[in-house]
A = this chain, B = another copy of it.
Amino acid sequence: MGDDTNWTADPYELLRVHPGFRLSDQATDATPGFDGDKKAGARELSEGSSLLADLQEQLFACGRLGEPRSVLLVLQAMDTAGKGGIVSHVIGSMNPGGVHYAGFGKPTPEELAHDFLWRVWREVPAAGQVGVFDRSHYEDVLIGRVRKLATPEEIERRYGAIAAFENELAESGTAVVKVMLHLGKDEQKRRLASRLERPDKLWKFNPADVDERLLWDEYQEAYQIALERTNSLQAPWFVVPADHKWYARAAVQQLLIRAMQELHLEWPPPDYDIEEQKQRLAAS
């Protein structure tokens, strides 16, 4: 964050889940740490885009030269909270060649025939990549819990399995950033209703979204438990107020920038002799 910013505090600190965190205490229409309006938010996002793209190029370069580091953004949210907009407007500023996007839908029969982490392992970012999980293994303790898709013992077991999985990722060089976009129930109603009014948005509406909405409180409770049980230093959770799309986008961008800055990336040194190559090139 430069001098000329509307950020008054670092969202990486402000939005982080700490012990004693209560999801129900968090306002969904707030804009923590940001002193400005929608227009200012869009400007910050635009300015942050080139910084994020530069950091990604450096991460990619390091990966090409054999360094194991990568980044994984995990996106979780109730329907219409704006995951797609984060992917498009924040991740979209990076080079697609270094981004690995994975959307996790209803598991296939083959996926169900394996442990719940099987399909997730297949999509973790390689060295140098920025991975994005659009939904994730958390669905297995969210819809899994609410819809009783597994036994209570199995759900219970999964929190520990997730923590171990994410710890393994972090130890092998992946910076894990977990984001819950925190949407208000009324705002969701407005967004779903607007999808039903626009011919170009009808495809985004799914009657199942209303079914899930009817279980709103159960989902909030499942999120609360998941946040408590799987928050860690190596793989921290951030709860981002999401009623204002512009705020959520600018905030998630800052979270990624901070996480990548903490990797202290540098341009990798060449593994060849520069002068020798200049001579070869000149003679070619």
Contacts and interface: CB of A to CB of B under 8 A. Distances in A.
B196 A281 contact: yes
Interface in A198-257: 199-200, 202-207, 210, 213-214
A272 B205 CA distance: 9
A70 to B, nearest CB: 16
Contacts of A151: none
A217 to B, nearest CB: 12
Interface in A243-284: 267-270, 272, 274, 277-278, 280-282, 284
A95 interface: yes
A202 B99 contact: no
Interface string A156-199: 00000000000000000000000000000000010011001001
A284 B214 contact: yes
The size bracket of the interface on A is 35 or more
B95 A210 contact: no
A96 interface: yes
Interface stretch (A5-13, A38-46, A85-93, A109-117): A85-93
A175 to B, nearest CB: 18
A134 B97 CA distance: 8
Contact of A189 (B134, B199, B284): B284
Contacts of A277: 196, 205, 207, 210
Contacts of A84: 95, 97
Nearest to A99: B96
A68 to B, nearest CB: 16
A189 B281 CA distance: 7
Nearest to A214: B284
A71 interface: no
Contacts of A269: 202
Q: Which 6 A-B pairs have the closest CB atoms?
A: A61-B203, A88-B95, A202-B270, A87-B97, A96-B101, A210-B280
27 contacts: A61-B204, A65-B203, A87-B96, A88-B95, A88-B97, A91-B96, A92-B92, A92-B94, A92-B96, A96-B96, A96-B99, A97-B134, A189-B284, A192-B281, A193-B281, A193-B282, A196-B274, A196-B278, A202-B267, A203-B267, A203-B268, A203-B270, A207-B277, A207-B280, A210-B280, A213-B281, A213-B284
